[in-house]
């Protein structure tokens, strides 16, 4: 399967949907070539608004458009969308529950060479804390396309977390995407790996590594971090040990969300793979994944350690 960045899939999906859903309007903050909203802009120039390098106004304008029945997709890099304009998202979008889709690209450390200032590792935590917000982190190009469509079709604010770097395509065209529903990609009984976004591919690789060690790992894709699929997490917990994997801080993201469910409903040993409360740095995406302990081998190692502590 070819490697495609989720931002590329977003750009294509948006341009396709624009044909079908005339209420879709797109706003960007001078990064349309990078976020790929430029594809939509070229096709529907009258429905594309470049807001310049002004993210607070970007979100506020999207909110205003939504009050008039438009379906705005507001795009920029994840760090600026969720960090710079956090309070605008909170007060002008989520509190009035307006139909704004925040599709943020360049999330996580796989931004690569640009370094820590541009590597968003807190965005899931920030967006997940907001009432009314749906948080979706697609794993590949196929899932992204389906998620963009689902976001456009659902009412209310959605945060779509997208990446810069090309990732393996995991899902075929027939893949069914249901917002809020986790997907068991591989059955297993010794340990469950619950992953999101680009870490889903790593989780699948980790399961193969573990297989060689005679460990049978379940792999669950959580594309919708909020609302989270408690049912699938509790099913995974039947393995008796859970490893979570995300390209995000271990504070406040998928690992936290899963731990919240488990600690209240079915406590089992858990290990969180993610960025361990530090900032990123410049480097090639693959180098960074290794340097920050996000590679398949890191997941496998966490699983091995965890299995020993199983009750």
Partner 1 sequence: MPVSKEKLEELTKAARRVRRHIIEMTAEAGSGHPGGSLSCADILVALYFHEMKIDPKNPNWPDRDRFVLSKGHAAPTLYAVLAEKGYFPKEELKTLRKINSILQGHPDMKKTPGVDMTTGSLGQGLSAANGMALAGKLDGKSYRVYVLLGDGELEEGQVWEAAMAAAHYKLDNLTAFVDHNGLQIDGPINQVMSPEIIQDKFRAFGWHVIDVDGHDFEDILQAIEEAKSTKGRPTVIVARTVKGKGVPYMENQVDWHGKAPSREQAEEALKALEG
Q: How far is the CB of 155 from partner 1 (least distance, A)?
A: 13
With CB under 8 A as the contact rule, the residue among 9, 24, 63, 141 that binds partner 1 is: 63
- Mark residues 87-116: x for contact with partner 1 by CB under 8 A, - for none: xx--xx--xxx-------------------
Please, which residue, 82 or 92, has the CB nearer to partner 1? 92
With CB under 8 A as the contact rule, the residue among 67, 153, 263, 309 that binds partner 1 is: 67
* 131 lines the binding site for partner 1 (CB under 8 A): no
How many alpha carbons lie under 13 Å from residue 150 in its C-beta half-sphere?
A: 22
- Stretch of 49-57, 144-152, 185-193, 239-247 lying at the interface with partner 1 (CB under 8 A): 49-57
Cα separation, 11 vs 115, in Å, equals 24
With CB under 8 A as the contact rule, the residue among 34, 43, 64, 293 that binds partner 1 is: 64
* 61 lines the binding site for partner 1 (CB under 8 A): yes
With CB under 8 A as the contact rule, the residue among 7, 70, 145, 271 that binds partner 1 is: 70
* 49 lines the binding site for partner 1 (CB under 8 A): yes
Cα separation, 221 vs 192, in Å, equals 11
What are the E-state strand segments in the chain? 3-4, 24-28, 48-50, 71-77, 101-105, 134-136, 158-161, 167-168, 183-186, 191-195, 217-221, 224-226, 242-249, 270-275
* 54 lines the binding site for partner 1 (CB under 8 A): yes
- Stretch of 7-15, 68-76, 167-175, 275-283 lying at the interface with partner 1 (CB under 8 A): 68-76
Judged on CB neighbours under 10 Å (0-12, 13-18, 19+), 220 is buried
Q: How far is the CB of 114 from partner 1 (least distance, A)?
A: 23
Cα separation, 285 vs 107, in Å, equals 12
Cα separation, 123 vs 62, in Å, equals 19
Cα separation, 136 vs 179, in Å, equals 8
Chain centroid, CA 237 distance in Å = 22
Cα→Cα distances 256→70, 128, 161, 189, Å: 34, 10, 17, 22
* 69 lines the binding site for partner 1 (CB under 8 A): yes
Give catalytic residues, as residue numbers. 55
Q: How far is the CB of 18 from partner 1 (least distance, A)?
A: 13
Q: How far is the CB of 15 from partner 1 (least distance, A)?
A: 18
Q: Which of 156, 136, 155, 133 is nearest to 146 (CA)?
A: 136
* 155 lines the binding site for partner 1 (CB under 8 A): no
With CB under 8 A as the contact rule, the residue among 57, 169, 216, 282 that binds partner 1 is: 57
Q: How far is the CB of 44 from partner 1 (least distance, A)?
A: 11
In DSSP terms, 43 is beta-bridged to none
* 163 lines the binding site for partner 1 (CB under 8 A): no
Q: How far is the CB of 102 from partner 1 (least distance, A)?
A: 14
Tokens for 101, please give them.
Answer: 């889709």
Place of tokens 């009035």: 96
Cα separation, 196 vs 254, in Å, equals 7
Size of the site for partner 1 (CB under 8 A): 29
* 134 lines the binding site for partner 1 (CB under 8 A): no
User: Do 215 and 303 contact (CB within 8 A), yes or no?
Assistant: yes
Rule CB under 8 A: which residues touch partner 1? 25, 46-47, 49, 51-52, 54, 56-57, 59-70, 72, 87-88, 91-92, 95-97
């Amino acid at each position: 399967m070819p490697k495609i960045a989720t931002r590329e899939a977003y750009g294509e999906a948006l341009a396709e949907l624009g044909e079908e859903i005339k209420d879709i309007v797109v706003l960007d903050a001078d990064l349309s070539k990078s976020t790929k909203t430029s594809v939509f802009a070229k096709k529907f120039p009258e429905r594309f608004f470049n807001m310049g390098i002004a993210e607070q106004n970007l979100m506020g304008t999207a909110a205003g458009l939504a009050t008039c029945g438009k379906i705005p997709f507001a795009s920029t890099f994840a760090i600026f969308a969720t960090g710079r304009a956090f309070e605008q998202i909170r007060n002008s979008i989520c509190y009035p529950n307006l139909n704004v889709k925040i599709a943020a690209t360049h999330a996580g450390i796989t931004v690569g060479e640009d370094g820590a200032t541009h590597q968003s590792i807190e965005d899931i935590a920030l967006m997940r804390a907001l009432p009314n917000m749906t948080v979706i982190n697609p794993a590949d190009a196929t899932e992204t396309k389906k998620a963009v469509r689902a976001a456009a079709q659902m009412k209310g604010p959605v945060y779509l977390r997208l990446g810069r770097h090309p990732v393996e395509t995991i899902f075929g065209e027939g893949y069914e995407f249901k917002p809020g529903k986790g997907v068991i990609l591989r059955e297993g009984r010794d340990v469950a790996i619950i992953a999101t976004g680009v870490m889903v591919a790593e989780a699948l690789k980790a399961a193969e590594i573990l297989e060689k060690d005679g460990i049978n790992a379940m792999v669950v894709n959580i594309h919708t971090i909020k609302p989270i699929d408690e049912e699938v997490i509790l099913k995974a917990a039947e393995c008796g040990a859970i490893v979570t994997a995300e390209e995000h801080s271990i504070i406040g993201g998928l690992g936290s969300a899963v731990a919240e469910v488990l600690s209240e409903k079915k406590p089992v040993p858990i290990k969180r793979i993610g960025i361990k409360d530090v900032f990123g740095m410049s480097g090639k995406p693959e180098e960074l994944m290794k340097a920050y302990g996000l590679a398949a081998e890191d997941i496998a190692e966490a699983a091995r350690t965890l299995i020993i502590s199983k009750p």
